[in-house]
Amino acid sequence: MDGLLYPISLFVVALVAFFFYRNNSFKLLLIVLAVGVYIIYSHETGNTVTNLKNEVVQSIDKSAGDFSKSRGVEGYDEKKAREAVK
C-alpha cells in the first residue's frame, strides 16, 4: 500500500489544484501546491515536520537544562520562595 499512497496523494493534490484554478481561487491553489511540494520534499529527503519539531524541542530542553545548571538553580525551593515573599 505504501507504493500506491505517494502517487495517489500527488494525483489528488493535482486534481484539487486544478479545481481551484478553474474556480479562480488562487490563494487556495497556492496552498494546495505548497502541500504538494511538502509531500514531494518529505518523500525524497525523509525530512518531515515531526522530525523538525522533535529537534527543536530537544534543543530547547537542552538549553533550558544548561541554563539552570549554569545559574546554580537545581529546582524549586518552597521555603526560599516563602521567605522572599515575607
Grid cell at residue 45:
529527503
Structural contact between residues 29 and 21, judged by C-beta atoms closer than 8 angstroms: yes
Distance CA 83, CA 18 (A): 67
| pLDDT at 67 exceeding the cut of 80 | no
pLDDT tens digits along 7-42: 999 999 999 999 999 999 999 999 999 999 999 999
What is the C-alpha radius of gyration for the chain, rounded to an integer number of angstroms? 24
Give the single-character DSSP code of 72.
T
| pLDDT at 1 exceeding the cut of 60 | no
